[in-house]
Amino acid sequence: MNGDGDGDVQGVDDTSGGAQESGRGGGAAPKGGRGAQLQHTGLRPGWTTGACATAATTAAYSALLTGDFPDPVTITLPKGQTPSFALAAEELTETYAMAGIVKDAGDDPDVTHGALVRATLRLLPAGSGVVFKAGPGVGTITLPGLPLPVGEPAINPVPRRLMREHVAQVAARHGGSGDVEITVSVDHGEEIARSTWNPRLGILGGLSILGTTGVVVPYSCSAWIDSIRRGVDVARAAGRTHVAGCTGSTSERTVVAEYALPEDALLDMGDFAGAVLKYVRRHPVDRLTVCGGFAKLSKLAAGHLDLHSARSQVDKGFLAELARRGGADEALAGQIAEANTGLAALQLCMAAGVPLGDLVATAARDEALSVLRGAPVAVDVICIDRAGTVVGRSSVA
């Protein structure tokens, strides 16, 4: 929730810093697709705050049940990677266990790089389940329009799921009930959060605990744009006539489910929509599908070709105008213009039966066609929410 992306990307082996990856077999590097793009950049990926919190949770719960902290502690990420994290802090008392991991963001200029992410666990009565709390440096949701209800700790859904899964695994190994309170904190997190969009989004008191794959994609603009070009070249050389530019791993899964595209037809567009469109303009394919989060693609619809949250913002006034075209009355348009996030605007329209998702997808398609300048490329756009549900799509044109 520090940005507006729909996910991060599987990276290559991390061989330095606070965590190392094991369980990755040998074999040739992928020739195309998103994994090959990352390898081609030469940039070292890192680990999300969600991965660090999961590792700290696993170590702390193990200590509560056995009296010992595993160090390093190994976790399994959604795409099967098994990174191991060295503990930077640990404390065990009769009532709680705390473990801390220093976040390594790899070569990404992430403001949370080097932050100490802590998880403090306390046992709860049987049947309580897993309860999440925000400790110092972790924010609390105060406004609607985010993936969590108002009042909840800013620990995103995928990190919550990962922590629950690892608590269950530790409980099964060591005879625990799996009923715990997890308090996640980040040293100096409230200060770091001032450099993010959290305060403007109504996330107060600190950072968000983020990540959909557990891996931080390192972005150097020049290196990533070069990798996009290589991805297009590989797809064309393989005879692919339909490629997809995806803003993240969730959108990648969506286009694979929709069109059964092979790996070498998938371009990790990230925030660089303009780079994909301009290169495909010079090196055409028959069809390009652009798929991404509703908020990001609303920026493309409004004419932005760089979708990064530091360089473009969701224009709620533009969304309100689109909604008017789709039948929204002035009262609803006013609510959209004042909405906290793009997601909140979308939810307002969905409740009113206004197809804002389709309108954004169509406007984004039209913007893409304008950048293509008549190149023989058919384009369609799919908008998704954070769970990967399709919330808008355009026709092919």
Instruction: Please answer whether residues 255 and 247 qualify as being in contact, where contact means their C-beta atoms are separated by less than 8 angstroms.
Output: no
- pLDDT on residue 28: 46
pTM of the model: 0.65
Structural domains in the chain, sorted by start: 19-216 (3.30.2110.10), 221-393 (no CATH)
The structure tokens 């995806």 sit at: 246
Instruction: Please answer whether residues 43 and 109 qualify as being in contact, where contact means their C-beta atoms are separated by less than 8 angstroms.
Output: no
CA distance 344 to 357: 12
Q: Which residues touch 295 (CB under 8 Å, ≥6 apart)? A: 4, 314, 341, 342, 343
Instruction: Please answer whether residues 211 and 49 qualify as being in contact, where contact means their C-beta atoms are separated by less than 8 angstroms.
Output: yes
Helix (H) or strand (E) holding 151: none
One digit per residue, the tens of pLDDT, for the chain of length 397 reads 343 333 322 222 222 233 443 333 334 445 666 567 667 777 788 899 999 999 999 999 999 999 999 999 999 998 899 999 999 999 999 999 999 999 998 877 778 999 999 999 999 999 999 999 999 999 999 987 788 899 999 999 999 999 999 999 999 999 999 999 999 999 999 999 988 878 877 899 999 998 878 887 666 677 778 778 888 988 999 899 999 999 988 899 999 999 999 988 999 888 899 999 999 999 999 999 999 999 999 999 999 998 876 677 899 999 999 999 999 999 999 999 999 899 999 999 999 999 999 999 999 999 999 999 999 999 999 999 988 999 999 999 9
- pLDDT on residue 158: 92
Main-chain phi, psi angles of 293, to 5 degrees: -60, 145
